[in-house]
């Protein structure tokens, strides 16, 4: 019996350490995950395109620039697309060509200057905010306008930060939403949101899929891509990977 308990304890410890190893800056993609961006121009243009929403004004190919990593070796991409100058969100956002329902996501970002603004959109609907200097419902690491910023794990400008997210898409029956979208998120390895329900798409039709439906409440049963927002600011991204899931239970904890 003692031997069995010891083996179980080792397995649990190994499992816990595996989860920790897949959190935070530098986390490597697990088995079954797809790398969406590795810092190269080739992967940017292979996996991503512009989101052609109502305010779209950019032209292909994607104008987000591949630049040297400001901290480590390698290259990264900057969200400072000229078409979004002045904070014109929706004008030059980029979105993955592949669309998703439930998933585990890892994104690393570096805000170059104070006040830098971007955003990570789950299913091209629900924004996890990237906004330096703001700790409100609209601030850094907030589930935008739904769950307030958890600012304390933020490493600050010119440093790398990481979101680790498990997301469960809204569920439908007969065309009606029966369960809201659900998200658990870690920010730089610290759990900041746990099984947070998401009520609506915020920001209107220029923000993403369903933003213009019933003031963002008209969520549809349509998968969407991972979107990164351009607001005319220099926010850099690297090491983005995703693993598709099928979460039958309404639980996104990991």
Give the span between the Cα atoms of 242 and 237, in whole angstroms: 14
Give the span between the Cα atoms of 111 and 117, in whole angstroms: 8
161-209 pLDDT, tens digit per residue, is 999 999 999 999 999 999 999 999 999 999 999 999 999 999 999 999 9
Q: What is the mean pLDDT of residues 3-10?
A: 39
Radius of gyration of the chain measured on its C-alpha atoms: 18
Give the span between the Cα atoms of 132 and 147, in whole angstroms: 17
Residue 6 parent element (H or E): helix 2-21
So what's the pLDDT on residue 21? 58
Under DSSP, is residue 219 helix (H, G, I), strand (E, B) or coil? Answer: coil
So what's the pLDDT on residue 22? 85
Q: What is the mean pLDDT of residues 132-159?
A: 97
Nearest to 234 by CA among 109, 88, 91: 109
So what's the pLDDT on residue 69? 98
So what's the pLDDT on residue 33? 98
- Per-residue pLDDT band for 224 (boundaries 50, 70, 90) equals very high
State both tokens at 139: 């601030």
Note whether 23 and 165 are within 8 A (CB): no
Pairing state between β 227-228 and 235-245 = unpaired
Residue 13 has a CB neighbour count (10 Å cut-off) of: 10
């Amino acid at each position: 019996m003692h031997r069995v308990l010891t083996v179980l304890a080792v397995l649990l410890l190994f499992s816990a350490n595996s989860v920790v190893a897949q959190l935070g800056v530098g986390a490597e993609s697990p088995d079954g995950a797809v790398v969406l961006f590795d810092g190269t121009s080739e992967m940017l243009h292979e996996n991503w395109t512009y989101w052609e929403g109502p305010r779209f004004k950019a032209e292909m190919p994607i104008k987000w620039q591949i630049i040297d990593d400001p901290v480590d070796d390698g290259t990264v991409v900057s969200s400072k697309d000229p078409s979004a100058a002045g904070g014109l969100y929706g004008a030059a956002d980029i979105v993955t060509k592949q669309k998703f329902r439930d998933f585990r996501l890892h994104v690393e970002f570096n805000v170059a200057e104070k006040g830098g603004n971007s955003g990570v959109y789950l299913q091209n609907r629900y924004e996890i905010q990237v906004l330096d200097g703001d700790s409100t419902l609209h601030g850094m690491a907030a589930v935008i306008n739904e769950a307030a910023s958890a600012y304390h794990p933020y490493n600050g400008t010119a440093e790398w930060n990481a979101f680790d997210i498990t997301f469960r898409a809204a569920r439908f029956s007969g065309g009606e939403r029966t369960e809201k979208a659900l998200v658990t998120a870690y920010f730089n390895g610290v759990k900041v949101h746990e099984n947070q329900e998401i009520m609506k798409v915020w920001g209107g039709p220029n923000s993403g899929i369903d933003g213009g439906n019933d003031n963002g409440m008209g969520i549809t049963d349509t998968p969407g891509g991972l979107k990164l927002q351009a607001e005319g600011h220099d926010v850099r991204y690297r090491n983005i990977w995703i693993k598709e899931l099928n979460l039958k239970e309404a639980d996104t904890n990991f």
